Amino acid sequence: MTDHNNDNTRTIAAKSPPGVISRIRTYFLTGLVVAGPVAVTLWLVWWFVTWVDGLVRPFMPVAYRPESYLPVQIPGLGLIIAFVALTLLGFLTANLIGRKLVDFGESILSRMPVVRPIYRTAKQIFQTLFSKSESSFRRVAVIEFPSPGMWSLVFLTQSPTEDIASRLPATEYVSAFMPCTPNPTTGFFFYVPKAAVIELDITVEQAMTVIMSAGIVQPGAEAQAHGSQARLAALAETARVAQAARKVEPTAAK
């Protein structure tokens, strides 16, 4: 009889709703999953806007700054001015007169010994990153690095020029950039034999996410994240129903 009562007690305990601590933990995780990405996105946007404002504001006369007439500072004005200025510069450069002015400025920079290599390198980088050609990062691959059996993500860029390829061992090479984790703006660049490269069917954005998250977020993890969020929401709903049931039980007992 005692064993039977113990079995009933275990069954009731197993079916009992989660406790207060478990419900609080579930609610907290649900709120964190919902609010965390929003908070990070807003913080990055705010940082970028204030950073651009800090660059543009010193060039604005004090008389034209909104805070000269308003009690608060309006963020984003520098970003708007920078956008308008860059668009206007692009429009002028597309014309014949603007093109001549740009060529004249480049000819002056080309005569400066220290400034010339910096300007040419920066120009090539910007033309590569923001052009619509296939020379920018549009292919993702893995190579065996830094030792056999270990694989690293790389971005494939232009093939080496004929002058460089003629001095490399006789095989076809590709240019590869391997970014570092979690800061993808630094990394290693090298020429690697094309036969040693395994191209992946993922986008550059997905590869960047893997690198910046140190592998925590993998390609295709968005669907899993939505599933996890749905599971958390289900747990929260279960806890809410259990809490409501506990409130009803004392009333039913009376």
Q: Other CB atoms closer than 10 Å to residue 243's CB: what's the count?
A: 14
Domain ranges, ordered by start, for the chain: 134-225
Banded model confidence at residue 13, pLDDT cuts 50, 70, 90: very low
Banded model confidence at residue 12, pLDDT cuts 50, 70, 90: very low
Give the chain's mean pLDDT: 76
143-152 mean pLDDT: 86
Q: Which residues pair with 200 in a beta bridge?
A: 140
Banded model confidence at residue 238, pLDDT cuts 50, 70, 90: low
Banded model confidence at residue 133, pLDDT cuts 50, 70, 90: low
> CA-CA distances (angstroms) from residue 131 to 123, 136, 138?
12, 7, 11
Measured CA to CA, the distance from residue 26 to residue 22 in angstroms comes to 6
* Whether the predicted pLDDT of 141 surpasses 60: yes
Provide the whole-model pTM. 0.53
10 Å CB burial of residue 245 (0-12, 13-18, 19+) is exposed
Q: Which residues pair with 198 in a beta bridge?
A: 142
| HEC per residue, the chain | CHHHHHHHHHHHHHHCCCCHHHHHHHHHHHHHHHHHHHHHHHHHHHHHHHHHHHHHHHHCCHHHCHHHCCCCCCCCHHHHHHHHHHHHHHHHHHCHHHHHHHHHHHHHHHCCCCHHHHHHHHHHHHHHHHCCCCCCCCEEEEEECCCCCCEEEEEECCCCCHHHHCCCCCCCEEEEEEECCCCCCCEEEEEEEHHHCEEECCCHHHHHHHHHCCCCCCCCHHHHHHHHHHHHHHHHHHHHHHHHHHHHHHHHHC
Q: Which residues pair with 144 in a beta bridge?
A: 151
Pick the more confident residue, 177 or 11.
Answer: 177
Q: Which residues pair with 140 in a beta bridge?
A: 155, 200
Q: Write out pLDDT tens, residues 37-66.
A: 888 888 988 998 888 888 888 888 877 777
Residues 6 or more apart in contact with residue 219 via CB below 8 angstroms: 202, 206, 207, 209, 210
Q: How confident is the model at residue 215, as a pLDDT?
A: 79
> CA-CA distances (angstroms) from residue 254 to 12, 203, 242, 244, 246?
21, 63, 19, 17, 13
106-121 mean pLDDT: 81
Q: Do residues 179 and 211 touch, judged by C-beta distance below 8 A?
A: yes
